[in-house]
Amino acid sequence: MRYDPSLHRTQGLLPLLIALAALIVYPFVFDATYFRHVVILAFVFAIVATSWDLSLGFGGLFNFAHVALFAVGIYTYAILAKTLGFSPWLSILAGGGTAAFVALLIALPVLRLDGIYVILVTIALSQLIYLVVISSSDVTGGTSGMVTLPTLTIGDYRLSRDGRIGYYFVGLALLVANLGFLYWVTRSRLGRSIVALRDNKYYAIARGISEARTRALTLMASAVFTGMAGAFYAAYLRVASPDAFGIGFLTLLLSILLVGGAGTIWGPVLAAFAISVASEWLSGFGAWQNIIIALAIILIVVFYPGGLWAALQELRQAADGARTSLMARWRRRERPAREALTGAPERMLETPHGSIAIADTGGDKPALLFLHGNSACKEAFCKQFRAFSDAYRVISFDYPGHGVSSNADPETSYNIPAYAEIAETVLADCGISEVYVFGWSLGGYVALELAARGNITVKALGITGTSPLNMVPDDFGRGYNPDSHLVLASKQYFSRTESDNYANSATAPISEESAFLHRNLRRTDGRARFYMLGRLGVVDWPRQMRMLREGRIPFAILNGSDDPFLNHDYIARLKYGNLWNGSPQDIPNGRHAPFFNQPDAFNLELFRFLKSADR
Amino acid sequence: MDPITLFSIIKGGLVLGALYALMATGLSLVWTTLGIFNFAHGAFIALGAYVAWQFASADAYGLPLGLALAVTTGVMFAIGAVIHFLLVKPFERRADVVLITVITTLAGSAILENALLLIWGPRSKQIPELVEGTVAVAEFQLAWSEVLLLVVVLAILIGLGLFLRYTRPGRSMRAVSQNREAAQLLGLDVPIYFALAFGLSAVTAGLAGVFVGTIRFMNPAMGAEPLMKALIVVIFGGIARFSSPIYAAFIIGLLEAFSIYVFGLYWAPAVLFLTMIVVLLIKPEGLFGKYQRTL
Amino acid sequence: MADPILQVTDLSGGYDPVQIFRDINLSVGAGESIGIFGPNGHGKTTLLKTLSGLIDPWSGDIRFDGQQMNRSGARGSRRWQNFNYDAITRRRMDPKTVARAGLIHVQQGNLLFPELTVDETLSISTRAASGRQGWSRADVLGLFPRLSERLVHKIRFLSGGERQMVSVAAGLLSAPRMLILDEPTLGLSPKVRSELCDAIVTVRETGLPIILIDQDVAFLERIIDRLYLFDHGRISRVMERDEIPGHEGLMAMLFGEVT
């Protein structure tokens, strides 16, 4: 299952509240009617575009009659409020109802169709609605439309007074309600079905999702707020004209949707504001206005296929990269504290994968290399540094994007083979050709990869918290417990809660002793997590398993007996050629980091293994 | 209904059908070859009319009509090919190419239409009649311009059909449309054939625009309505093969002419659409369609 | 061996982000033919698609007839899709360029152009390439007499064997300097199969180099000079024709270590 927490558990809520607060304050800062008018239009466009996104972006259903649903809302309001004299407020609600009903009618022929045919048929349907509207001129006013529609009032107060401030807040409320509704729908069972049908139709149907029912519901759900926005638009402008069916309006909304980013809720909202403002700003340029906007749309589609939303994500990624990079630089000054922790001097090494921080106890003893896990740092092994430095030359280093090493190019440096390559560089720099290697979690794979590459003589190989894998990604679900906080391992940005959750599961619950590990987690370059998992495919997994089966290298598995991430049965069932004591060794109560949580038991086991490997 | 009325309805239906066929052929040519819909087709229609006006009208260059048409053909072909390389080719490898090209061609259409507005201004124009006078057999009247339209459209469609069937570039274009990968492996230059399809499509649209421009006043947005009609024709007939929209165009033309006579000008389009939706409910892939697209 | 016509160096590739094959080295001399043998699903077809440019290689070089086929160093663009960054350093290739250089790939189970007739298909394949002596239409119809009777039929209506023959014929008419055949005899009836095999042997006897993938060792031995054993996305062994231990022997080499 995809990890998809609600907004308040991630960092999404705060920016949203800030944006809302800004929109509430806006009309008081800019009290000119014109400024408010532009934003009110943006509200309407945002509602229509995000609703459209439900069927088009999330559902992959190219409903080009969506604009007609908007027009249906307009005319519902016009006829109910003006001709029949209903309450304008009720008429707005009714606009949603009639649009949903028309959406159901549209759904009927569309249920059997796919792809381009949906576009064609929905265009035809929207033209049919258009023709019906202009043909029944006695009801709808034909091509000239209807004017002087009733305005919205509260008691005797007309919302258009005081610089349209009443309309502004009704529009804002409608937008907020619409976004809340969409957020709820996309996270509901229906929303998951919609996406499932888009991504793998036949699989979804085989799993019991009704395509017809889901499609009909998708179209209706996308119509409700569209129709209400149409009614509101009519109440605001006080006209109902068939222009709303035109290709110009369709182009405007489609470009809001695509420029914002299809398949996201927030992207089209952003784009609605951006395009409304840009379009107003350019309105003095006559025909050039449309040309410039069209060119901008093409350029955005070419250079930012994911739209403004993706651009924003890149910006966020760049900001986060800068933040973590600065943090690493800043923390390099705390070297004495780290050296006190490990008892080993720290130095920086320039490699093709950035500058790497190495802790090395030195001396002419047999070398023992520790490789740390995802989002951790070399100091995680501080207890081993102290315990083993008498008999061994203990070495560890921070991966790029971790600890106090610098950030590096995510494309090339944040993956397992790159980490193994760095390990080779580090060992070569230390003048070591034979080494004992111990890897924890992600480091376990780095250790396996290092041994399988065979450029360095590995005299013994130990891992903890790592499931050796034959096939990726197939075996990934088998080797691990998918319900654990491991789902966070590839998540790019951590909120406070997530950061604490992950650190608790991956290392140790926060305490004075483990505080530095928790602190370090927030420095890790989010891209290191994201790219590492995305690049699992570049690792030669069968080679690692061949190496283990051949059993040339003494091999030990020292897992925490209560490791929350691992599927212990899977690890025990694999075939190994030369596994120490014939089976994985459990460290009681070690959790995912037994060397940290149960250092004495762990150190003893590791020491015995290293000794046995020498024989 | 007296024979003269019947004759004029059928005549009107055939003329409409021929125009629709010309518009729809271009649209379906691009769809069958590239698998995308070109929403700038309407703008091509307007552009063709304006270019022809520029060369043919006495107010502008005033070239002889045949020469003006030849120049228009060349210009339209070039513009079609250029539009392909700018608005379609960059997205070829993308999974959502159909949707992306909808938006880029819509944007391209906006650019073209506004460029027309900038270059030729908002004042309505009309292309002089290509030929004048009428021919009358007994009491049945037929304008020479209508005859010319029918003849030219049929000649273009037959010529296009022969090109696709009997020439190497035509056959290669069909091969490219049927199996892009296999065509590449035989060394066919896929982008060139795509550009060719786009160029031919633009030429047919432009010529349709010339005919429309002789019948009605021209304005930069004049392509929108013919584009919708062409879409209906294409949906109605199905887009499986090159020929199906052509039959559909004549059926729709005749249907429209009859329903204008029976239901009046206002309700005729609604009748058309309703017929089309009924057809689609029974046969979603169109009257002559199959799901597989082939040229 | 004189200058090889096809030289593949350290080629790796796959469908991003999953690597399918790695570190492939092949060398085919002029007039030589090679075979690739291996289990299904290990990436042979992906390798061939990479050789003919349908998929961009990740790293490594492909030289054909002294000409570099992949534009090296070109970098793939970063794309943001469904919240996944999807980027890789790629070496762009163009299947058209490869085909025009004379490396012709006949795909597995190729449908070709279902709505074109045999005649039309053969007519678009004929290329009077720059001074290259190729097969003529008459030669090809002589090789596959069956096709002469089917000229006006659409490929859609042909049998599997006939389609395969059209594929090979279309390849031969494209002035090949080397032919890549991907399991040409897959799923054919014995009679059609032996016809097709004989035809391919005839082609081989003209001296045209062939890369052949097939599961039938006897057929492979009639065509090839050298066999590459393909296992888990890499070449695990190379053997000359007289070293091939027969089907059972090859299977033991492939699966021996597991069982």
Per the CB < 8 Å rule, is A314 touching C80?
Answer: yes
In a domain, residue B294? The reply is no
Q: Quickly name the fold that domain A335-614 has.
A: Rossmann fold (3.40.50)
Query: In whole numbers, what is the pLDDT of chain A averaged over residues?
Result: 89
Residues of chain A whose C-beta is under 8 A from some C-beta in C?
263, 304-306, 310, 313-314, 410-412, 530-531, 534-538, 540, 542
Average pLDDT of span A447-460: 92
Average pLDDT on A1-29 reads 79
Q: Do C107 and B188 touch (CB under 8 A)?
A: no
Q: Is the previous residue joined to C17 through a cis bond, with omega within 30 degrees of 0?
A: yes
- Say yes or no for a CB contact (<8 Å) between A127 and B266: no
Out of C17, C82, C232, closest to residue A534 by CB: C17
**Residue A438 has which token pair?**
């111990």
Strand duo B134-137 + B140-143: pairing: antiparallel
Question: How far does the CA of residue B62 sit from the closest CA of chain A (Å)?
Answer: 27
Q: What's the 3-state SS for A100-137?
A: HHHHHHHHHHHCCCCCHHHHHHHHHHHHHHHHHHHHCH
Per-residue confidence of chain B (295 residues) as pLDDT tens digits? Answer: 788 888 889 998 999 899 999 999 999 899 888 888 898 999 999 999 999 999 988 777 888 888 988 999 999 999 999 999 999 888 887 777 887 888 889 899 989 999 999 998 888 888 877 777 788 777 777 888 888 889 999 999 999 999 999 999 999 999 998 888 899 888 888 899 999 999 999 999 999 999 998 888 888 888 888 888 888 888 888 766 778 888 889 999 999 899 988 888 777 877 887 887 788 777 777 777 665 555 5
Domain ranges of chain C: 4-75+89-255
Taking contacts as CB-CB distances below 8 angstroms, the residues of chain C near A57 are none
> Secondary structure of A196-242 in the HEC alphabet?
HHHHCHHHHHHCCCCHHHHHHHHHHHHHHHHHHHHHHHHHHHCCECH
Do the domain assignments include residue B209? yes
Is pTM beyond 0.90? Reply is no
Distance CA B80, CA B197 (A): 9
- What is the Cα–Cα distance from A167 to A40, expressed in whole angstroms? 7
Mutate to test the interface with C, among A258, A411, A532, A546 (most CBs of C within 10 A): A411
Chains that touch B (3 or more CB pairs under 8 A): A, C
Among A537-546, A557-566, C81-90, the minimum mean pLDDT is found in C81-90
User: What residues of chain A lie within 8 A of the CB of C17, using their CB?
Assistant: 534-538
Chain A from 273 to 332: CB within 8 A of any B CB:
287-288, 290-291, 293-295, 297-298, 301-302, 305
Give pLDDT tens digits for A257-295.
Answer: 888 888 888 999 999 999 998 888 888 887 888 888 888
Strand C18-29 to C210-213 pairing: unpaired
- CA distance to partner chain C, nearest, from residue A537 (Å): 4
Domain that holds residue B100: 3-282
Distances A59 to A68, A108, A190, A191, A201 between C-alpha atoms, Å:
19, 16, 11, 9, 11
Q: What is the ipTM of this complex?
A: 0.84
- pLDDT band (50, 70, 90) for residue C78: very low
DSSP state of A289: H
Q: What CA–CA distances, in Å, run from A383 to A133, A239, A601, C225?
A: 79, 76, 12, 61
B–C: how many Cβ contacts below 8 A? 68
Domain count, chain B: 1
Q: Where are the domains of chain A?
A: 18-244, 335-614
If we measure between CA atoms, which residue out of A400, A120, A124, A69 comes closest to residue A244?
A69
- Range scoring the smallest mean pLDDT among A228-232, B203-207, C59-63, C140-144: C59-63
Q: Do C114 and B184 touch (CB under 8 A)?
A: no
Against chain A, the chains showing at least 3 CB pairs within 8 Å are B, C
pLDDT for the residue A573: 87
Q: Which residue of A has its CA nearest to C58?
A: A538
CATH code for the structural domain at C4-75+89-255: 3.40.50.300
B56 within domain boundaries: yes
Instruction: Kindly tell me if the per-residue pLDDT of C91 is higher than 60.
Output: no
Contacts of C93 (CB under 8 A, 6+ apart): C50, C53, C56, C57, C62, C69, C70, C71
CB contact under 8 A, B182 and C124: no
Pick among C113, C117, C118 to test the B interface (most B CBs inside 10 A): C113
The partner residues of A458 in beta bridges, in order of sequence, read A435
A186 contact residues in C (CB cutoff 8 A): none
Contact B182 C125 (CB under 8 A): no
Give the mutation candidate from A315, A527, A538, A546 for the C interface (greatest C CB count, under 10 A).
A538
Classify residue B233: in a domain, yes or no: yes
As a whole-number percent, the residues of chain A with pLDDT over 90 amount to 49
Residue C224 or residue A470, greater confidence: C224
